[in-house]
Amino acid sequence: MQRRHSLQEIAHLIDADLKGDSACLITGIMTLQNAQQGQISFLDNKRYLKYLAITQASAVILRGECLKHAPSNALIVADPYLAFAKVAKLFERDPECSPGIHATAIIGENCHIHPSVSIAPNVVIGANTHLGAGVVIGAACVIGDNVVIGANTRLTSHVSVCADTQIGERVLIHNGSVIGSDGFGLAKDNNKWIKIPQLGKVQVGNDVEIGANVSIDRGALDDTIIADGVKLDNQIQIGHNVRIGENTAIAGCTGIAGSTHIGKNCMIGGGVCINGHIEIADNVYITGMSSVVHSIRSPGIYSSTHSTQPQREWQKNSIRFRQLDQLAKRLRKTERLINNKSIDLD
Chain segment 51-72, per-residue pLDDT in tens? 998 999 999 999 999 988 887 8
Mean pLDDT of 205-222: 98
Which pLDDT does position 344 carry in this prediction?
59
Per-residue pLDDT tens digits for 7-62: 999 999 999 999 999 999 999 999 999 999 999 999 999 999 999 989 999 999 99
Whether 20 contacts 12, CB under 8 Å: no
**CATH code, 100-302:** 2.160.10.10
What pLDDT is stored for residue 321 in this prediction? Answer: 86
Given this model, what pLDDT does residue 1 score? 62
CA distance 293 to 150: 36
Q: What is the mean pLDDT of residues 325-346?
A: 81
Q: Is the dihedral of CA 97, 102, 104, 110 positive or negative?
A: positive
**Residue 172: its pLDDT value, please?**
98
Query: What sign has the CA pseudo-torsion 74, 76, 77, 81?
Result: positive
Q: Are 41 and 32 in contact (CB under 8 A)?
A: yes
| Catalytic residue list | 240
Query: Given this model, what pLDDT does residue 308 score?
Result: 86
The pLDDT tens digits for 77-128 are 999 999 999 999 999 987 778 999 999 999 999 999 999 999 999 999 999 9
Query: What is the predicted pLDDT for the residue at 237?
Result: 99
What topology does CATH give the domain 5-91? 3.40.1390
The fraction of the chain above a pLDDT of 70, given in percent, is: 98
The count of other CB atoms within 10 Å of the CB of residue 96 is 6
Q: Domain extents for the chain?
A: 5-91, 100-302, 311-341
